[in-house]
Each structure stands twice: as C-alpha cells, then as structure tokens.
Chain A
C-alpha cells in the first residue's frame, strides 16, 4: 500500500511540475512561455464577428449534429443547435446559436440573441440582436432590436427593427442598490440573476 501511495505522490508531482513551475531555476523555463503563447492568439482576434465563443457550444446546452428534434423546445439556458430541429424554439432571455451544420425549421423562434451559422426557415424574434454569419441562410421574418448580416449570408424575408424597451436603464440601477447594501459586492448581484434564469 505504501508503495502505491508513494507512486501516487510521485505522479502528481511530475505532472504538476510544468504548470506550477516550482522548480528552482531550471535551465529550461521554455514550457511555460510556450503554453502562454498558445493561449494568446484566440484572445487577439480583431474581428468581433468571429469571436471564438460563437463558433462552439461553450456553456450552452447542445443539440449535436447527429440529433434530430421534432417538437417544442423551451430552454432556460443558452442553446447551441448543430442538428435538425423542427417545431418551435423558445429561449426567451437566452442565446440561441445555430451551428454550421444546424438546420432549424420552426414556426417561431424566440430568444434574446440569435446567431446563425447554419440555416433557419421560420420567423425569428430576437429581443436583443441577431447575427447572420457568412454562408448562413435565413428565410423568414425577423423582429429584433439589432441585426448584423455578414457578406455572403443569405436572407430572404422582412426585417422589423423594434426599439429596445427602456428596461435596461432601470434594471442595472435596481441591481446595484442591493448589491451595494449586501456585504459581498458581486455575489448578491449574481444570485438573483441566476434565480431569474431558472424561473
């Protein structure tokens, strides 16, 4: 048993060594800088429309490209669709991303933000904004506050710009007051937001 424990102790120390870098002045500090260099390029993307978060389902529920859904989808979190969906999609206060392989044929799509890299056939209501990326296809009527259409995107339908309600101006102020009164600054502000999300 002691042998196993020793081995276990040894193994983490080997694996942790490159990340923690506690070794006293090793002659080869190169691994750490190399890792950092690899991490920097994605954050340096200068084009706002190609932010990496929009190209993948990070932190969002996902419908994979081999999945086909027929019916009503109601989500209380962000959703990434890379498969086929037929029916209605309602995300209300969340973000819907249609991946490059995603095909949505819906009578109604409602979300706070919609990003289209694949194809949508149906009317879309995005309370905040909609992005139609290059090579994406959207056939339907759009109702939104803001719209971004990349060159090379195909859109057929109508665009109705609906001015955002004046809620955002008062909502942050209301959130700041309880946050300021509470002891921790950021935690109380995040908690009610999470509660709202779950409802």
Chain B
C-alpha cells in the first residue's frame, strides 16, 4: 500500500521494518510520527536508572554546566538540574519533528532541506556548548537520514569528554512502544509518565547503536525492565 520510498525509509539500519506476525510497513498507523495512538490516562512508573546514575556521576560534583534536555521542559527536570547549579536548555524534539515534518509524512525526514530546517529550529547551538545532553528516546522517531544528521549535530554541540543519555527500545519489540515523559526524581531514579503508544521508526541493537555513535569515544549500555536500552555515550 505504501510507496516503495516510504518502505525503504522505514526499514532502518538493519533492514527491520515490522514485528513478528506483521506483514510489513502497512501495519504502521497514520499517526506514526504524530504521538500517541491512544490517549489513555497517564500511568506513572518510578524506577532506578543506571544510565541516569552514570550521567549524573559525571556532572553532579560540578557547578555551572550547560545541560540540554531534548524532551521539553517539565518541572521535575528543571528543578533537579538547576538545583545542582547547572543551566538547563530545553528543546522539545517530538514537537520539533511534528513541526518540521508533519504527522503523516515520514518521507519528509529524508528531505535535506527539511532536515536542515529541523536542525536550525531545534539544535542550532554553538560548537561545544553543552556539557551533557539528555536525549531520552527522541532518536527512535527519526528516519535514517535525519537521525544521522541529528547525531552529527549532537556530536558538534557537546564538549569533548561530555555525555549523552539516550534510550532505545530493544529490538524484539517491533510494534508500538510506550511513549514516555521522563522525569528525574533523584540521581538514579526516573519517573516514567506513560503518554500512550507510538511507533518508532527504527529499532536498534547494540551493534547498530555502536555504529550510530561511531564518532563518539565510547558507548555504554544498560538494559532495563521496560525493554529499554539506556545508553551513555561519551563524546
């Protein structure tokens, strides 16, 4: 049903498109890039996060750092980061994706002009400006051309030896995945606010993630109960 170009776009770095039992990309709903598939009431799950603990272990004893949060501003994260004495920068990448590429037109994520516009609107920062970036799961919703450009931009705007914290759903879950809002509760504790379901554009295994962050110095993985892979990437 979908054009060949869209199928190629959705295939991802490993050629994986659909989950077990699915016939292909036709199972992907129209609201693929638009957010929740269902607006269920919010579910809250609080749990330990080794990735977050690692991220803060590098910055908790310093003051006056610049931290970029890509999930949009929420009270908990703002309080936590600023109480540590850091300056927080906020970008809502999910909204930026919608604004730049629309809800139902994922092919646009391969359009160089739109990619440039997206980066200009959302990641237009000076080289080496940040001491850490909370990426959360925002990279999962990007098609390969956009993803590569975004990771390249991230590598430029963070200082050498600084860290990114990113989340990826594990490879086995090929269907819609929970869309979370991540709220920092403590150095090693996150509150997951479930905002419904969403279909990731790509799913990754360790090898594909190492390849994705090939320009960075190191990549470290932590697997969690929520079928999330927490990744600490060192610039």
Contact = CB atoms under 8 A, between A and B. Distances in A.
A162 to B, nearest CB: 10
B89 A153 contact: no
Given A149-B73, A161-B82, A156 B88 contact: no
Interface residues of B, number: 15
Contacts of B210: none
Nearest to B193: A151
Chain A interface mostly helix, strand, loop or mixed? strand
B69 to A, nearest CB: 10
Interface string A125-157: 000000010000000000000011111011111
A167 to B, nearest CB: 21
B78 interface: yes
Interface residues of A, number: 15
Contacts of B91: 156
Contacts, number: 39
B136 to A, nearest CB: 16
B92 A159 contact: no
Contact of B90 (A151, A155, A161): A155
Contacts of B74: 149, 151
A148 B82 CA distance: 12
Interface string A154-184: 1111111100000000000000000000000
A154 B88 contact: no
B87 A158 contact: yes
Interface string B72-93: 1111001000110001111110
Contacts of A149: 73-75, 78
B68 to A, nearest CB: 9
Nearest to A143: B87
A74 B97 CA distance: 38
B7 interface: no
Contacts of B82: 147, 159, 161
Interface string A70-100: 0000000000000000000000000000000
B95 interface: yes
Contacts of A159: 73, 78, 82, 87-90
A158 B72 contact: no
B89 A158 contact: yes
Contacts of B95: 154
Contact of A157 (B66, B83, B89): B89
A148 B90 contact: no
A155 B89 contact: no
Contacts of A151: 74-75
B223 to A, nearest CB: 29
Interface string B35-77: 0000000000000000000000000000000100000111100
Contacts of A153: 73
Given A149-B73, A149-B78, A159-B82, A154 B92 contact: yes
A150 B73 CA distance: 9
A155 B72 contact: yes
Nearest to B121: A156
Interface centre among B83, B88, B92, B95 (most CB of A within 10 A): B88
A132 B75 CA distance: 10
A136 to B, nearest CB: 11
Nearest to B82: A161
A155 B96 CA distance: 12
A154 B87 contact: no
Interface of A: 132, 147-151, 153-161
Given A150-B75, A157-B89, 5 more contacts: A151-B74, A158-B87, A159-B78, A159-B88, A159-B90
Q: Can you list the 10 inter-chain pairs with the closest CB atoms, starting with the nearest?
A: A155-B73, A161-B82, A158-B89, A159-B88, A149-B73, A149-B75, A160-B87, A155-B90, A158-B87, A159-B78
9 contacts: A149-B75, A156-B91, A158-B66, A158-B89, A158-B90, A159-B73, A159-B78, A159-B89, A161-B82
